[in-house]
Structure 1
Amino acid sequence: MFNLNSKNSARQNKILLWIAIVFPVLVILLWQFASTHGLVKASLVPAPLTIAKTFLSYIESGKLWKNLSVSFGRVACGYVIGAVCGVVAGFLMGLFKPVNAAFSGIVSVLRPIPTIALVPIVILLAGIGFSSKVAIIAFGSFWPVLLNTVHGIQSVDNKLLEVAYTYRIPTLKTIFKIIVPSSIPAILTGLRLGMSNAWMSVVAAEMIASSTGIGYLITLSRETANARVMYMCVLVIGVIGLFIDRGLTRLEHYYLAKTRGITDSK
């Protein structure tokens, strides 16, 4: 087993990096071999090169960017609404026990419901326009932000609160000088997870009721039995989600390093 605390940790990290690079490449090569040599049906599982050619054709025609830009716009609106509501509700539940007691039961019931299960209800109430998709995205991004905000506030060191109480520091000053800074790391984690949920939620919304967006392309390709486009869209969604998560993780580490002197170990 690798010992990352040993003197050979740099060498071991390089080996792990190579494993992380080589293994996906091997998977792609095996996939290409299986598809081109008839081990799997190419009409159902297209070869990676076929998917790559489809990707390039959609880039050149502008179809991919046109639909992605629509999805990005919906995600931006829904995420802002869900994140703001999650932070506000999380602070209220974390700071005030009566509020927590009143809403904890509702949260426990609604949180496990998959976002896609609410799509028909939202469409019934708000139609199939822009607002319904924003509502679905806001719902999906709301929960991680809410739960992490509550956790961050409830995890504040009690000794700091006791000091504030002993020195009779005003409540508002205690909140903004002690509670908020202490809960920032948890809130940032919630915001990052909320963005991931928002990206997944827009795909679910567009797959059911939309004429534009990346989710719509998946539905259209399924209905027309166009596996090449379907696989291409799924991979694009995954890659974009990866970049979003890595980007927000880097911003989170950068913020903590600047404000608290925490170095980024990644």
Structure 2
Amino acid sequence: MTSPDLGSILLASPDPDRLRDWYCRAFGATPSPDGDVRFGGVSVLFDQRDDVAAKNPEPGRTILNFHVDDAAAVAARLDEMDADWLVPLEERSEGMLFGTLIDPDGNYFQIIELGARYLAARVPAPSATLGSAPFSGFAVDDIDAAAAFYRDTLGLTVTEEYGLLAIQIGGDKTVLAYPKENHTPAEYTILNFPVEDIDAAVDALRERGVTFERYQGMEADERGIFRGGGPYIAWFTDPAGNILSVLQER
């Protein structure tokens, strides 16, 4: 049995609009037309309920963890909002910044920055020959545009250090993006993202502004999905023109 995806979290509140707007200001987010707020791959729903107190009596029971690229900048914005800190931002281990705050309803949430040093320390030690944890990389012409696309549009965890991007593409797998002058987009698919429902994935990406490619000899349907031989697949590009895909096994 395939484990389910965690699609959303509900924060109940006596004043859900106030709480949603507070989180949007804290993290520079924008609510969807339905009122939920998407953080990476998880939507947070804010709902009014009569069976919750004005202040959470057990805030340590459930804590939202926000993985950010620049914890110091997020902390500064929260300070401007007079946010309450339970544990100030600190370096927990080399390359990891960690802080715990209290939202207006008394819920705890945390901001976490996993820097390149922290991630590199978690890579298994290489063997005497080729190593036990190889990773791939690709070039882009605009590192800031790439970071915004892979983080905000695709909902992946992206960390940046020394002008390079470490993109978490599932589990402990990381791919590196690096800036290159006179960049020429790859003419092949550099990343494939397996999904369980390609129609839903394509629709969700379209809502985030992604345009799907069509190639001669690979006739796609109205969504841009090729349903010929092999898996169902739809191709799109990142801001640098590199080709990506979502695909679903038949």
Q: Which protein shows a greater Rg?
A: 1
Task: Using CA pairs under 8 Å that are at least 6 residues apart, name the structure with larger relative contact order, 1 or 2.
Answer: 1
Query: TM-score, normalized by length of structure 1?
Result: 0.20
Q: What TM-score, normalized to structure 2?
A: 0.21
Between Structure 1 and Structure 2, the one with more strand by share is 2
